[in-house]
Every structure is written in structure tokens, then in C-alpha cells.
Structure 1
Amino acid sequence: MASVEKLPMLAEGYERMTADLKALRDERPRIVDAIEEARAHGDLSENAEYHAAKERQGQVEASISDLEDRISRAQIIDPATLSGDKIIFGATVTLLDDDDKPVKYQIVGTYEADAKAGRISYNSPLGKALIGRKVDDEIEVTVPAGDKFFVVEKIEFI
């Protein structure tokens, strides 16, 4: 039997995911009502409301399945319980860019990633390049805009 791959995430990402799942489940009855109402209008072949409601139903069910799967595989990690001198999931790292300007990122799960807020996925190119690195390590990452170079200045678990 294949082992189930755990999905590391922070507690806040898990909470947001469960809230999103609840909202989608709460939407189900409204979609069924919309389908029934549209069906009552007669000919379904030219009924835009019916097709839109059916399409939304498919989207909601797919999202529910995806979230249920992610939640079942969630491995909640509290960065405050972590330590060490290497970058791992949950670490907050300060990097110096090409211009010696500091940039700060926290390594998070894919569902929690928000680059503008300084939260990058461990699966992103930069996240993958950072995992396992130490202070003073030099990192090269290829991004759409070209190659970026960083030096790890600080690793924190907060």
C-alpha cells in the first residue's frame, strides 16, 4: 500500500482551509435550489441559469474533494517548536539580495503562500532552493525575470 504524503502547513492555513470547506458545504443546498428553480423554467438546452448552476455545482464539488483530501493529509507545524541552523518548513529567513537589501520570507505550505506578505511555499523555486541551507549560504534561483542571487543572513523560528 502506498503511503499517504503528508502536507505540512501552519495552524492558520489549516484553519483557513477548514473554514473554506465549511463555506463550500454551506453553498451546496443553495446550488441545488438554483438547479431546481432553473429546471422548473422548462427547456434545459437553452437555459443559461441551469447550465451556470450545474457548472458551479461541479466546481464546488471538486473544491470540496480537494480540500477534504488536503485536510486529511495535513501535518500542522508550529514554527515556535522548531530550531536548528538549517532552513526548514516554518522557518522565517532573512536574505540579502543582489543589492544587499534584506528580504524576509517564511517557508509555508502551498495553501498559505502569499509572496506579497512574505510567505513562500516550500514547493516554489525559491522555497526549494532555501530548504536545507544555512546562514551565509549563497542561493541562485531562476525566476521568470531571470536569475536571482541571495545570501542567507538569518534563520528564525517564530
Structure 2
Amino acid sequence: MNRKLLTAEGYKCLQNELNDLVRRERPEITKIVSWAASLGDRSENADYIYNKKKLREIDRRIRYLTKLFEVAHKVEYSPEQDGKAYFGAWVELENDEGETIKFRIVGDEEIYNRKDYISLQSPIAKACLGKSIDDEVKVQTPKSITSWFIINISYNIPNN
């Protein structure tokens, strides 16, 4: 695994997930598996089969997160970033038709389950990096090059 960038919020969220898996979920599922195994024939025991599978999934996620934290780099906000789009920024763009989009530039590990987060590696994020408000951003899409204008950049987390 290469070095992985995480926002301070993403780092904390993934740490909380790992702690929850290790301290709460895994022990609960282990108890259920032990109880189901004590009932006898495991080949037809749905509780045992289901929870054993769930335990493997939990263990896989724990291993993944543990390895991630070995290479993770938490990127803290710096006042020097104000006014420019960098890692962790909320960026709002508008095109010539008046359509707007708003997203946060984050690491690959943080985009899951969030429609308003985009990867630092995405074309639109790369096009925005280092730009300021009112700058034009050109993004190559499968059909053409689209132009957007940055109308807002912030580093605070909106209340959702």
C-alpha cells in the first residue's frame, strides 16, 4: 500500500470504525458463533454459518484498516490554504448554464457512502487543485472538455 492521504475528519472516522469493530462488533459476533457452535451440527446451523461469514468480513476489514493506518498520513487544515482549492477543501463550481456542483476533495479511502466527496485522483479534483475563486476549471470528460468556474472554496465542514 502506498502512502494514503486522509483528512483529519476521515482519519478520526476510520479510527472510530476500527475501534468499534475490535471492541464491540467482533466480540458480539464471536459470542454468537461460539453459542451456535455449541449447538452441534454446524453444517446445517444457519446462525453458525451466517455469523462465521460475518466474522470473516469483520476480520478482513480490521486487517485492511490496520494496514491502512500503517501508511496513512493525516492532513490537517492550515490557514495558508485559505482562498485556494487543496486537499480537504469544499469546492463549489458553476458552469455557463448556471448549474452548480459542490464537493469535498478527499483521499480515496473517504469517498465511500458520500456523494459529496470526490477523490483527490479524480479529473475534476486535479483540475481544481491550486485554483482560486473565479478561476476557470477545464475538465476532460468522455464527450468533451467542460468548463466550470470556482464560486466558493471553504475548509469548514457543512452541517448535514
Q: What is aligned with 1:151?
A: 148
Instruction: Show structure 1 runs of 5+ residues with no match.
Output: none
Q: Which segment drifts farther, 125-134 or 91-100?
A: 125-134
Give the Cα separation in 1 of the matches to 2:85 and 2:107.
14
For residue 7 of structure 2, the aligned residue among 6, 10, 16 is 10
Q: TM-score, normalised by structure 1?
A: 0.77
Q: What is aligned with 2:32?
A: 34
SS of the residue 1:99 aligns to: coil
Deviations 1:42-101 (A, max 9, x none): 111111111111101100000101111222222111233443886432233232235233
Q: In percent, how many aligned pairs have the same letter? A: 27
Structure 2 vs 1, CA of residues 71 and 140 (structure 1 numbering), >3 Å: closer, same or farther?
Answer: same
Please say if residues 8 and 77 of structure 1, whose CA atoms lie closer than 8 Å, have aligned partners that are also in contact: yes
Deviations 1:10-67 (A, max 9, x none): 1111111111001110222222211111111111111111111110110000010111
Q: TM-score, normalised by structure 2?
A: 0.76
Q: What is aligned with 1:77?
A: 75
Please say if residues 84 and 153 of structure 2, whose CA atoms lie closer than 8 Å, have aligned partners that are also in contact: no
CA shift at 1:125, angstroms? 4.6
Q: Which segment drifts farther, 94-103 or 38-47?
A: 94-103
Instruction: Show structure 2 runs of 5+ residues with no match.
Output: 156-160
Please say if residues 31 and 57 of structure 1, whose CA atoms lie closer than 8 Å, have aligned partners that are also in contact: yes
